[in-house]
Structure 1
């Protein structure tokens, strides 16, 4: 690491081993945040020019070099590596090498604290936007299949035991609504964290009239995070909320993957996965394994682990503490894995094939008992008497799954799925 750290001053000894430990994963984490840090530096430079700290020429020089740094980084011409303490110091060093004293002015009125806050906040907004989009795409695909296969009978289960006649429409519709909820939660979380911390410095403000309204507008935030001290208190809190929004979707994905794991087994035989979504055994020539589905199921654990790691770091009093450095890696890891998993789902769902004959064969006469009990109650028999009467296996015969679905008129089931309601919600969400 470069011994010329930005906080160096006479009387401080810099030990290479200690510096390596202090840096930790910062450089690797900052690679994901670097372009956002550059964008925030541009807004800060403009703000400094607006209050007379920078001349117009100095500001123009800084903006030009910051754009050049962003272009170099995108093209692979600038590498963020162990030469730098972190991404923030890399930006300052680059500007100083290019512009001398003008480059040294860029840090006036700001701290690495608000630098990492604003870069992280901008990055989180992008991740939550992607999460909302992916969940809406999954919901749209599930809704399309729910409409196409609305009245295809399938067995419904509770306790992994056959329970009542269900349909592919109900199964698909459930996932459509689940992921639509997840999309809306992601967007609501994005709205909540859409606040600009830049200008809070180390959490106590500075004795300059920083134009925080300008940086809020320039960076596309909905509002300014008002009190400087709360900006520091919110580090990790907002990231935790974002991971919880991601976990909501990953929880639904885990349950969906569990269904597919069961339904693709020989014991069920309800579903066939396309060959690209299966792998073979290294030993057993007869095996085709649903590895992708199983890893999608396990992906919840990766995101949950990231969330728990972050939560443990946040056991702190107010103000900045170096512990907070450890908030970056789990958030980056959780979103990196979670979004990659969700991105595979729409095509998987579009391409899986049902075996209607297997679904139909799994619907046994006992699954009509509940319908029968309700029919007796509808005709005037007290429900507990109807319940006992409907338990007679002799009465279950001669009933069909199709008849059961046609008679199921309660909202959200059978012939009354309400898919148009979901479609309207999705249309509003997409338009928004």
Structure 2
């Protein structure tokens, strides 16, 4: 049942067969291969290469083959080299010699390039749907905590108070960019290779543009050699997947920290936590840790395919068999991780009291004090230095800003008058940062309004609307 072999006197060695076989992983392309086969049958009919009766029997056999594949009644065998070989066998079993007519004008080279594009364009929308669920969970938490003050950090050190909702929405913006990259990717992936044959097109009167339209592509490939050699769409998808993984990893790392005894910012729901086999008291953030860990797979898949592609001459080379497993693994990984992280975020309980009590720790209002002096005409360089001296004085004397007397303020610098305390308030510090993009609760609510519109549009795209 090999799709080649006419010029060979003997069969391949067992070692070659084992090396060449791909049907154990490319079987998932069945629905896409059959979809493309129906379109190809119709173009053969329009070209006068199939009669009306032959076309009807061909479509009926392809439909029956798809039903049998879904039901598990038709499966690949050890003799099937790949998904294309297996499905042609199924077609021949149903149609006899008529089934062999479908191969006219196409090659496994343009078939697999088409199948993989169809598969990815379909599954990218599933991934976007799962990303929307995560965005929605983050926005729901952010809405509840627009006015909850939290320690904003740089270098993992207390820096300035921020709205916890603002911090949660920072992750939404990152995932929203991921979705926009995938939508932009889809525009470039919407090019059909079918009709390119092995590399040079076909002398048969086919219509690649009609096939492209039937399969939901925007156009047919303008260059047959590029069409069968191009795996930019796969590599670009893997880059987008790696970026999603990186963003999941950053969110996962923050959740690990937030759930620790040292932070105690959140309590994870039991449904999204695990325990220890030896320590009864443990409640572990495994979902967040696995999200962090899976990013290594996603980044590795990108590196794997890029390394495979980097030295290939035009056009098709068997090396390209290595394109599918990293793509399939990245799709599977994202569809596995995203629902779990969305569930973790949606069900976590935020320790508002802990967040707000620690928001001013580490002299986090120092910048507000320096900016007050700037508003009074003091050059920022001098204001920065004066507040730095005040911090050192407080550390030496084991005091915080709100414990200083009027005399102690003036003693450190004449710039610090008693009314300087007007900015030493966490709610005031949040409200003051009201410029576009700032952490003021009103700006957080503005973000939520804009993001809901963005996410609604992303959800509509994922559903095909």
Q: TM-score scaled to structure 2, two decimals?
A: 0.88
Aligned partner of 1:18 among 15, 20, 38: 15
Q: Distance in 2 between matches of 1:359 and 1:366?
A: 15
Q: Distance in 1 between matches of 2:109 and 2:460?
A: 36
- Say if 1:131 and 1:186, in contact at 8 Å, map to a contact too: no
User: CA RMSD, aligned part only?
Assistant: 1.6
2: distance between equivalents of 1:277 and 1:81? 40
| Counterpart-to-counterpart distance in 2, 1:414 and 1:205 | 60
Query: Aligned-pair distance for 1:16?
Result: 4.3
Distance 2:288 2:94 in 1: 51
Q: Which residue of 2 aligns with 1:356?
A: 352
- Cα pair distance change 1:188/1:259, threshold 3 Å: same
Report the alpha carbon displacement of residue 10 of structure 1 after superposing the two structures with TM: 4.9
Give runs of aligned pairs for residues 135-146 of structure 1, distance below 5 A. Answer: 135-146=131-142
Aligned residue in 1 for 2:103: 107
Structure 1 counterpart of 2:440: 414
Partner in structure 1 of residue 452 of structure 2: 423
Q: 2:8 & 2:118 partners in 1: Cα distance?
A: 37
Cα deviation for residue 360 of structure 1 reads: 2.2
2:194 to 198, 206, 209: 198
Q: CA deviation at 1:136?
A: 2.4
- Equivalent residue number for residue 339 of structure 2: 343
Q: What is aligned with 1:180?
A: 176
Q: Kindly provide the CA deviation profile for residues 56-99 of structure 1, in whole angstroms up to 9, marking residues without a partner as x.
A: 11111111010011111111111124231111011111111211
The unaligned stretches of length 5 or more in structure 2 are 395-399, 403-420
Q: Is the contact between residue 365 and residue 396 of structure 1 (CA under 8 Å) also seen in structure 2?
A: no
Q: Are 1:259 and 2:285 an aligned pair? A: no
Q: Secondary structure at the match of 2:159?
A: strand
Partner residue in 2 for 1:303: 298
Tell me, yes or no, if the aligned pair for 1:129 and 1:190 is still in contact at 8 Å. Answer: no
Match for residue 401 of structure 2 among 389, 396, 400: 396
How far did residue 430 of structure 1 move?
Answer: 3.6
Give the whole-Å Cα distance in 1 for the aligned partners of 2:352 and 2:60. Answer: 63
Q: Structure 1 residue 40 and structure 2 residue 65: aligned?
A: no
The 3-state SS of whatever aligns with 2:440 is coil
More off after superposition, 392-401 vs 347-356? 392-401
1:277/1:292 contact within 8 Å kept? yes
Q: Secondary structure at the match of 2:151?
A: strand
How far the C-alpha of 1:278 sits from its partner, in A, is 1.5
Hey, what does 1:49 align to over in structure 2? Answer: 45
**CA shift at 1:27, angstroms?**
0.9
What 5-or-longer segments of structure 1 have no aligned partner?
Answer: none
Structure 1 match to 2:263: 268
CA, structure 1 residues 9+18, in 2 after alignment: closer, same or farther (shift >3 Å)? farther
2:113 counterpart residue number: 117
Deviations 1:365-394 (A, max 9, x none): 600001111121122111111111222135
Correspondence 1:313 to 2:308:
yes
Alignment match, 1:59: 55
Report the equivalent of 2:281: 286
Please give the secondary structure, in 2, of the residue aligned with 1:288.
coil
Alignment correspondent of 2:127: 131
Query: Match of 2:416?
Result: none
Q: How many residues align?
A: 427
- Larger CA Rg, structure 1 vs 2: 2
Moved over 4 A (4+): none
SS at match of 2:363: helix
Which shifted more, 386-395 or 172-181?
386-395
Name the SS for the 1:289 alignment partner.
coil
The 8 Å contact of residues 303 and 335 in structure 1, kept in 2 or not, is answered as no
SS of residue paired to 1:366: coil
